[in-house]
Amino acid sequence: MSKIDENIGRVLFSEEQIRNRVLEIGKRISEDYKDKEPLMIGILKGSAVFMSDLLRAIDIPCRIAFLTARSYGLNTTSSGKVNMDEDIERALGTKVEGEHIIIVEDILDTALTLSTVCEKIRELKPASLKVCTLMDKQVQRSIDFKADYKCFDVENEFVVGYGVDYAENYRNLPYIGVLKPEIYSK
Ligand code: PRP
């Protein structure tokens, strides 16, 4: 067992479960967008691992870009404020107007991050806007918000791995696990 594995209480989704689900969602996106060429926008940093697998599960022409948005910092609860790139099109390196946008996230929790990002993207007049999240923690929602695509629903547990961090660590776990409470309550 590695140094990071030993801080995991239990595995929530194995590498195989993630692989299969990401393939299913990639197939759905490929069908839904078969006559379009979507621009997928990953929200950094959490979406990096999911984006790289989802992208390869899509078999239609598509493009990618990334935006940085943070609300948690090194804490386990949201700061209530989303820090994001001011000039979105400059950060993306491409225009948004007239594009079919799919926002790619690792986790939808209170929905503060995604509702803020979507509001800013909408101001730039995309042709359409959808959201794809790896995990959906519906019990924590403080804003009414629904993802268009999601891989997994999760309970109110502290999940890490497959891009999701605790204080910037654990993103490199290949599976999704629940962190032992003694790690974050120290
Ligand atoms: C996490 C996650 C989402 C957001 C979800 O980001 O990646 O962006 O929190 O929470 P919310 O629905 O309550 O807003 P974080 O601020 O931890 O930054 P990171 O992506 O760099 O890990």
- The predicted-structure confidence for 32-88, as pLDDT tens digits, reads as follows 999 999 999 999 999 999 999 999 999 999 999 999 998 876 666 776 788 898 899
- The predicted-structure confidence for 85-110, as pLDDT tens digits, reads as follows 889 999 999 999 999 999 999 999 99
Judge if the beta carbon of residue 30 lies within 6 A of ligand 1.
no
Judge if the beta carbon of residue 110 lies within 6 A of ligand 1.
yes
Decide if pLDDT at 178 tops 80. yes
Which residue type does 4 have? I
Determine the pLDDT at residue 2.
81
- The predicted-structure confidence for 137-167, as pLDDT tens digits, reads as follows 999 898 999 999 999 999 999 999 999 999 9
- The predicted-structure confidence for 122-143, as pLDDT tens digits, reads as follows 999 999 999 999 999 999 898 9
Q: How far is the CA of 87 from the centre of ligand 1 (A)?
A: 19
Residue whose C-alpha is closest to residue 115's, from 146, 94, 88: 146
Q: How far is the CA of 49 from the centre of ligand 1 (A)?
A: 14
Q: How far is the CA of 35 from the centre of ligand 1 (A)?
A: 32
Distance of CA 97 to the CA centre of its chain: 22
Judge if the beta carbon of residue 138 lies within 6 A of ligand 1.
no
Which residue out of 84, 107, 171 has the highest number of ligand 1 atoms within 8 Å of its CB and is therefore the one to mutate?
A: 107
CB 8 within 8 A of CB 164: no
> Ligand 1: which atom is nearest the Cα of residue 112?
14
d(CA 88, CA 106): 20
